[in-house]
Amino acid sequence: RMEPCARPYRTVAGADGRFRFVEVASYPEGHLYVLAATWAGIEQTSLPRLRQEITQPTEFPLYEITDDLGQVVANRGNLRVEFQQIGGVPVLQMLLELAYVNLGDHIVLDEPNTPQAHAFTLELPVGAFNIAPEQPPGGVQRFQPVENLRNLEISGVQDTQPLAPGYGQRLAVSFFVPYRDGAVIDMRLPFALDDLGVFVQAAQGLELEGDFLNFSETQTTSTGRRYDVYTQTTPLEPNAPLKFSLAGQPINQASAGAQALTSTESDTALVLVLGGGVALLVIMGLAIWFWLARRTERQLL
């Protein structure tokens, strides 16, 4: 059930690293059992276990911590671009979606056990404003906008949660960029990316140029919107410029005062297939939800 922990049980591992819980209540179907342990200074949790599994031995891997992002890779990225007039001011409205995973054997977390703890920081284009990252369920504000990166007037977004090995993650953030006859989009991702698709709304008059992007096709979505699709031709190394330019005199096709894009509204929303099927994604989501819920409870105490 998606509810706080019904009852916690505690035990201490023996010299061989094994632990045993006794007299654990057998809750009805629908409840899940999750192991949690403090190791390397942070609480780590296992995947949820079903009731019929609690009498079986299970491995619960614990990880050391690193701030090195060398083993974190982006599986896929989508960037949606549309021209808007907000209160008469021309802007580009963007939605960036990334699927990423930690392929290493350490949890990635910088500045652990501090209010500034985060896994990574992603730099957005100069002048980006109204930065609105989507948050996971559970009420925890996992993704946070940040300003003045590298002592410059650069904004970005941080993933403030630890990146455990093997867990596929997703970030979606919408933002606006000023546009007057043209704009240079220059971002920095802290990890490698080799599969980016840029979707520029067709028939708006925007022209895209970029050394690592080639026009692929024009797609029509189920809602009738048409997008010119540009695909990545060369891999991007960590912190390399994700840079391209947009030019032209766009035609505004949306009403003034448009709100920030969300992936649930986006025709180009990123579909994550990170292996193991839908059931595994659900279980992984439950484990992450449990960890976030526990963290929220501690913050409220």
Cα–Cα dist 226/199, whole Å: 9
CA–CA dist 118, 161 (Å, integer): 6
Q: 74-114: per-residue pLDDT in tens? A: 989 999 999 988 888 899 999 999 999 999 999 999 999 89
Q: So what's the pLDDT on residue 22? A: 76
Please give the pLDDT value at position 173.
96
Give CA angle at 190 (232, 213), nearest 5°: 15
- Cα atoms in the Cβ-side hemisphere of radius 13 Å centred on 266: 26
Give the angle 229-208-241 at the CA atoms, nearest 5°.
95
Inter-CA distances, 107 with 18, 39, 65, 122, 124, Å: 22, 11, 5, 18, 25
> Are 143 and 297 spatial neighbours (Cβ–Cβ below 8 Å)?
no
Q: How far apart are CA 80 and CA 121, in angstroms?
A: 20
Closest C-alpha to 174, from 142, 217, 143, 139: 143
Whole-number pLDDT of residue 266: 52
- Please report the pLDDT score of residue 161 as a whole number: 93
Low-confidence ranges of the chain (pLDDT < 70): 1-6, 54, 252-301
Q: 216: number of CA atoms within 13 Å, CB side?
A: 15
Instruction: Please tell me the distance from the alpha carbon of residue 259 to that of residue 66, in angstroms, as a whole number.
Output: 38
Q: What pLDDT score was predicted for residue 50?
A: 80
Question: Tokens 């916690």, residue?
Answer: 8
- Per-residue pLDDT, 255: 40
144: closest CA among 163, 168, 118?
118
pLDDT of residue 205: 85
* Residue 115, both tokens: 């209010």
d(CA 208, CA 184): 10
Beta-sheet strands, E only, within the chain? 36-39, 42-45, 65-66, 72-86, 89-102, 107-108, 120-123, 129-133, 143-146, 156-159, 169-178, 182-188, 192-193, 196-201, 207-209, 213-220, 226-232, 241-247
The domain segmentation of the chain, as residue ranges, is: 1-62+276-301, 72-247
Q: Are strands 42-45 and 65-66 parallel, antiparallel or unpaired?
A: unpaired
Write out the two tokens for 236: 């991007």
CATH of domain 72-247: 2.60.40
pLDDT of residue 45: 87
Closest-CA residue to 50 (of 217, 256, 214, 287): 287
